[in-house]
């Protein structure tokens, strides 16, 4: 049996000994810190800070439970090395109230579980704005066509719009339609708008506004007809003015215009060289020779084949006698 003095001394020394820390304890790991849930457009992600140890690689396991069944179930995040876990699982409904927990593991050594707050995807996810597909414009309306990446029937949409030259804003009613018309607008006016979405079940889960888009309304039929008339009148006046200017220009610069359109005739070089030949008869001699010759005309009347032959013979005889007489006159 131990002596009473030694036992008393041991009891006095035990409280003063330092306790081993959790990191040094072979039976316990530190718990993951900064456990947070991020959710955007129903894409759910659980993240946490890594647990640091001197030796080995720490693994992590994530579990969840629901109010309907107070039992912990595993998801696709068991013995993972990453410090995040995506729990966008179709088996976990968006309207369920769930709680998640995570712990660190190193061989047989495990940390305590760290639980999150209760999470409901319909209520806690952030609903991003839809994407504009196209805008149809009329003289007094703009029709916005858009789509959302979330395929949920519980989403509703609202449009905030204003005239670009003013700060007075208007809002449409919440609707499930992905085509919204902005009515009673001014024609040929630029309007700007933003769109946001929300979950129909939870009125407080309203997403942020989209980027500002601006479009211009079209012109009415009467205004388009007025534009056509104005353009026609302007074109007519322009043509008349140009015609008057051209007429006055021609009157003032008649000789210049005539020179442009009727340049002086120039004899081709080969003909001019031929005319300068000294052996060529003078132009006056050619004219006198032409004047001395008696012009004659021949008239032929064809009535039958025999008459035609006789007429041809008479014509040939007449030409022969004429040529002989001209020859005799040249000899004399």
Rounded Cα–Cα distance for residues 92 and 87 (Å): 8
User: Please, which residues have CB within 8 angstroms of residue 78's CB and are 6 or more apart in sequence?
Assistant: 61, 62
Asked, colleague to colleague, whether 33-123 and 128-219 share their fold, the answer is yes
Domain residue spans of the chain: 33-123, 128-219
* pLDDT, tens digit only, all 332 positions of the chain: 444 444 444 444 444 444 444 344 456 899 999 999 999 999 999 999 999 988 889 999 999 999 888 899 999 999 999 999 999 988 888 889 999 999 999 989 999 999 999 999 999 999 999 999 999 999 999 999 999 988 778 899 999 999 999 989 999 999 999 999 999 999 999 999 999 999 987 778 999 999 999 999 998 766 666 667 778 788 888 888 888 888 787 777 777 767 776 666 677 777 777 667 666 665 555 555 555 555 555 545 544 444 445 544 555 455 545 455 544 444 44
Query: Residue written as tokens 């940390």?
Result: 111
Indicate the pTM of the whole model: 0.58
CATH for the 33-123 domain, from 2.60.40.420, 2.60.40.10, 2.70.98.20, 3.40.50.1370: 2.60.40.10
Give the CA distances from residue 112 to residues 8, 33, 64, 170, 249, in Å, rounded to whole numbers and listed in that order: 36, 11, 15, 53, 102
Four-way CATH pick for 128-219: 3.60.20.10, 3.10.310.30, 2.60.40.10, 2.60.40.1730? 2.60.40.10
């Amino acid at each position: 049996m131990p002596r009473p003095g030694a036992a008393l001394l041991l009891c006095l020394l035990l409280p003063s000994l330092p306790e081993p820390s959790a990191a040094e304890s072979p039976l316990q790991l530190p718990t993951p810190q900064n456990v947070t849930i991020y959710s955007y457009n129903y894409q759910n992600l659980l993240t946490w800070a890594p647990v640091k140890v001197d030796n080995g690689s720490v693994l992590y396991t994530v579990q969840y439970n629901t109010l309907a069944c107070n039992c912990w179930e595993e998801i696709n995040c068991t013995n993972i090395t990453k410090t995040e876990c995506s729990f966008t699982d179709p088996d976990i409904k968006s309207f369920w109230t769930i709680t998640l927990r995570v712990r660190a593991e190193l061989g047989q050594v495990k940390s305590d579980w760290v639980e999150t707050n209760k999470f409901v995807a319909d209520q806690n996810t952030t609903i991003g704005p839809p994407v504009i597909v196209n805008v149809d414009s009329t003289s007094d309306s703009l029709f916005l066509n858009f789509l959302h990446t979330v395929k949920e029937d519980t989403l509703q949409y609202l449009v905030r719009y204003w005239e670009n030259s003013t700060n007075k804003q208007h809002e449409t009613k919440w609707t499930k339609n992905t085509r919204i018309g902005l009515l009673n607008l001014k024609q040929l006016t630029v309007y700007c708008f933003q769109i946001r979405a929300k979950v129909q079940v939870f009125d407080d889960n309203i997403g942020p506004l989209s980027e500002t888009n601006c479009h211009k309304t079209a012109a009415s039929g009467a205004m388009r007809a007025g534009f056509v008339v104005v353009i026609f009148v302007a074109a007519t006046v322009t043509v008349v003015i140009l015609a008057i200017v051209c007429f006055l220009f021609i009157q003032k610069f008649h000789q210049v215009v005539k020179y442009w359109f009727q340049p002086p005739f120039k004899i081709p070089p080969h003909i001019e060289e031929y005319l300068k030949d000294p052996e060529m008869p003078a132009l006056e001699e050619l004219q006198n020779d032409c004047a001395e010759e008696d012009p004659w005309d021949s008239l032929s009347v064809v009535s039958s084949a025999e008459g035609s032959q006789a007429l041809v013979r008479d014509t040939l005889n007449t030409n022969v006698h004429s040529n002989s007489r001209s020859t005799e006159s040249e000899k004399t």
